[in-house]
Amino acid sequence: MSYYSYYICKKVDNKYIEKIEEITNKKIIHTIEDSRVLPKKINSDLMIIAPTTGNTIAKIANSISDTPITIAVKSHIKNKKPLVLFIYASDGLSSNACNIGTLLNRKHIFFVPFRQENPITKPYSLSSDPEYIIETIKYALNGEQIEPLIL
């Protein structure tokens, strides 16, 4: 979990953190230090980032590792395991379009199908459809991108 998300959950209501840790039976990793040792601790088959913001998309596309999430992604990709991205980006069809294009060409990175959030009031905003998460994961585990990608 990003440190910002963790901080907000703790500030608003600690029950969110407790519930996530109860469901996963794991302590949430939310610091850079803890995320660096993640590959040694966990042998995961797949990683999903939901939601994946424009900022995170840009960092992954440009190999910037300065948050717990991006450090975990870098380690995960190094192990040639699938990474699934659930886009939620207000700039997906503007400044981040090139980063999405870059990631579409990378091995082991897969996207949950997405669409314009609202073409009239938010013409550049992209959002993945939660209905496709499970199916996308199944495809990604077989090394394939679910299609259609753009809904």
Mean pLDDT by 10 residues, the chain (151 residues): 73 78 81 70 80 92 89 85 92 89 94 91 91 95 93 87
- CA dihedral in degrees (110, 1, 60, 116; nearest 10)? 60
Q: What is the pTM of this model?
A: 0.82
* Strand 114-118 relative to strand 122-128, pairing: antiparallel
**Percent of the chain that is helix, strand, coil (3-state, to 5):** 45, 20, 35
Per-residue model confidence (pLDDT) at position 22 = 87
- CA dihedral in degrees (56, 57, 61, 67; nearest 10)? 10
Per-residue model confidence (pLDDT) at position 37 = 67
- For 114, the enclosing helix (H) or strand (E) is strand 114-118
Mapping DSSP to helix (H, G, I), strand (E, B) and coil, where does residue 13 land?
coil
The ranges of the chain annotated as CATH 3.40.50.1950 are: 44-151
Per-residue model confidence (pLDDT) at position 133 = 93
Buried-exposed string 131-142: b where 16+ CB fall within 10 A, e elsewhere: ebbeebbebbee
Per-residue model confidence (pLDDT) at position 110 = 97
According to CATH, the superfamily of the domain at 44-151 is Flavin prenyltransferase-like (3.40.50.1950)
Tokens linked to 63: 């190999």
> Angle 19-109-28 (CA atoms, 0-180°, nearest 5)?
20
Per-residue model confidence (pLDDT) at position 41 = 64
Per-residue model confidence (pLDDT) at position 98 = 93
- For 70, the enclosing helix (H) or strand (E) is helix 68-78
Per-residue model confidence (pLDDT) at position 111 = 96
